[in-house]
Amino acid sequence: MEKSGTGNKQGTARRSFLKKGALGIGAAAIGAGFLAKGSPAFAQEHEGGSLSKGDVDILQLLLAAEIIETDLWKQYRELGGVEVANNPTFQPYVNGLLQLDGDMPQYISDNTDDEISHVAFLRAYLKSKGHEPINLDKFAHNLAPSSVPGVPQTGRLTNLKQLKVDTSWWTRYRSKENVDLGAPAFPQAVPSLNEGQHPAIPATLADLSDANHAQAIANTAGFHFGFIEQAGTSLYATLSQRVSNPEVLRITISIGGAEIMHFQVWHDKAGNAVALTDNQPGGTLTFVNLAQGQPESLQANLIMPEPTDFIKGLPEVSIIRPTGAGQLDATGAIKGFIEDGLFIGQPKELQQFLLNLAAEADEARRES
């Protein structure tokens, strides 16, 4: 995509969530006044009735996952979003992101908006059904932000300075084997990213003083975006199978669909990571050019899901995966976030809280 994409959009994120929310309510109110009951407009309205314990547990876990996503995406937006893409201090990082795609800053800002909307919606939905939404407020400001001048100096929930990024989703989606049917773990696309600890945002001004290092941080972010969103993709699909209420199912497959869209975008961008070697305190990082001379298990432009084994006795099919128990279900997704390093520096209490929420969500079963 052309690199001029950010040029005329500086400071104007595609969507202002609050503005759009206010307009949405107004339009709905006007519409409701003019339409007779039973018209399609009313099909959009809330269903009455209470939710099963399983449905509430699933929604609470998904809310926690969305709060985590929102916190990390906000950090990416502060340093690489369209609103700051012209900030001269951030240029080495922004330039690194632009190597992955000329529209990266816009996509980062929009992904952030989407996560904010997911949190606001799930909170409001739980409240509308008489349930107090969980919150992570106690942990939300425990971690120091990036010290790069221009970044708001407020504490954070998630760590993006020392990550171990699992890049096996890359080879999983290029394989005909399926972990849901017992395939062994898939190899890493970028083995050195899954060892040691690496920054995905510039933690200090010093991180921006060397273009190669800044590019390595941007490359790391590119693969981390894919890692996060493939987890959301599988998480929603896995938990949707245990939802009982049709409206809750509509919510989980609809928000889950947005996670799939995020994943697909980032899957495409990560393959443009620039080949380099960077000696970091947390270990040497090596990126190879995935666009040239690679086997199909690594080839950058093979971003459509390779048809895979799915249901025994039936043909291979192109699908998102995994979607079975014991993989990227609630517990699997939270464990993945923990192993990623997102909660380094947080008290163990946070991990335990999340794992307990996940265990409850994984116990949910569809009730007729």
Minimum Å gap between C-beta 342 and Fe ion is 14
> Nearest CA to 278 among 203, 219, 201, 339?
219
Q: How far is the CB of 115 from Fe ion (least distance, A)?
A: 5
Using the rule CB under 5 A, is 166 a contact of Fe ion? no
Residue with tokens 């009455």: 48
Question: Of 335, 339, 325, which is closest to residue 355 (Cα–Cα)?
Answer: 335
- Which position's Cβ is nearest Fe ion? 118
Minimum separation from the CB atom of position 301 to Fe ion (A): 23
For residue 115, state whether it binds Fe ion (rule: CB under 5 A): yes
Span near Fe ion by CB under 5 A; candidates 184-192, 252-260, 280-288, 300-308: 252-260
Rounded to a whole number of angstroms, the minimum distance from the CB of residue 229 to Fe ion is 5
Question: What does the alpha-carbon distance between residue 329 and residue 323 come to, in Å, rounded to a whole number?
Answer: 7
Of 55, 71, 77, 118, the one binding Fe ion (CB under 5 A) is 118
Would you say how long the chain is, in residues?
368
DSSP string, 261-305: HHHHHHHHHHTTPPPEEEEETTEEEEE--TTSS--TTT-TT--SP
What is the H or E stretch that residue 194 is in?
A: none
Both structure tokens of 163: 């990550």
Is 262 near Fe ion (CB under 5 A)?
yes
CA distance 244 to 212: 51
Name the residue nearer to Fe ion (CB basis): 118 or 242.
118
| DSSP per-residue letters across 3-18 | GGGGTT-TT--S--HH
Q: What's the closest the beta carbon of residue 73 comes to Fe ion, in angstroms? A: 8
Alpha carbon distances (Å) from 255 to 93, 211, 278? 30, 37, 37
In the complex, least distance from residue 194 CB atom to Fe ion, rounded to whole angstroms: 21
Q: Are 308 and 316 in contact (CB under 8 A)?
A: yes
What the block records as the tokens of 60 is 């609470």
Query: Should residue 336 be labelled a site residue for Fe ion when binding is judged by CB under 5 A?
Result: no
Q: Of 62-70, 83-91, 102-110, 148-156, which part binds Fe ion (CB under 5 A)?
A: 62-70
Provide the mask over 7-36, with x wherever binding to Fe ion is found by CB under 5 A and - wherever it is not: ------------------------------
The residue range among 15-23, 89-97, 111-119, 143-151 that interacts with Fe ion, by the rule CB under 5 A, is 111-119
* Site pattern 68..107 for Fe ion (x: CB under 5 A): -x--------------------------------------
**Token pair listed for 161:** 């300075």
Q: Determine, following the binding rule CB under 5 A, whether residue 202 of this chain makes contact with Fe ion.
A: no
Q: In 3-state terms, what secondary structure has residue 308?
A: strand
Name the one residue in this structure whose structure tokens are 């393959």. 271
Which of 57, 78, 166, 259 is close enough to bind Fe ion by CB under 5 A? 259
Strand bridging mode 276-280 / 283-287: antiparallel
Task: Tell the smallest beta-carbon distance from residue 118 to Fe ion (Å).
Answer: 4
Asked if 157 and 71 touch (Cβ cutoff 8 Å), the reply is yes
Rank residues 148 and 221 by Cβ distance to Fe ion and give the closer one.
Answer: 221
Nearer to Fe ion among residue 64 and residue 350 (C-beta)? 64
Exposed e or buried b for every residue in 26-61, given b needs 16+ CB within 10 A?
Answer: eeeeeeeeeeeeeeeeeeeeeeeeebbebbbbbbbb
Which of 262/269 has CB closer to Fe ion?
A: 262
Q: What does the per-residue mask of binding to Fe ion show for 220-239, with x meaning CB under 5 A?
A: ------------x-------
Cβ closest to Fe ion, residue 219 vs residue 230? 230
Q: Hey, what are 240's tokens?
A: 């949707």
- Interface with Fe ion (CB under 5 A): 66, 69, 115, 118, 232, 259, 262
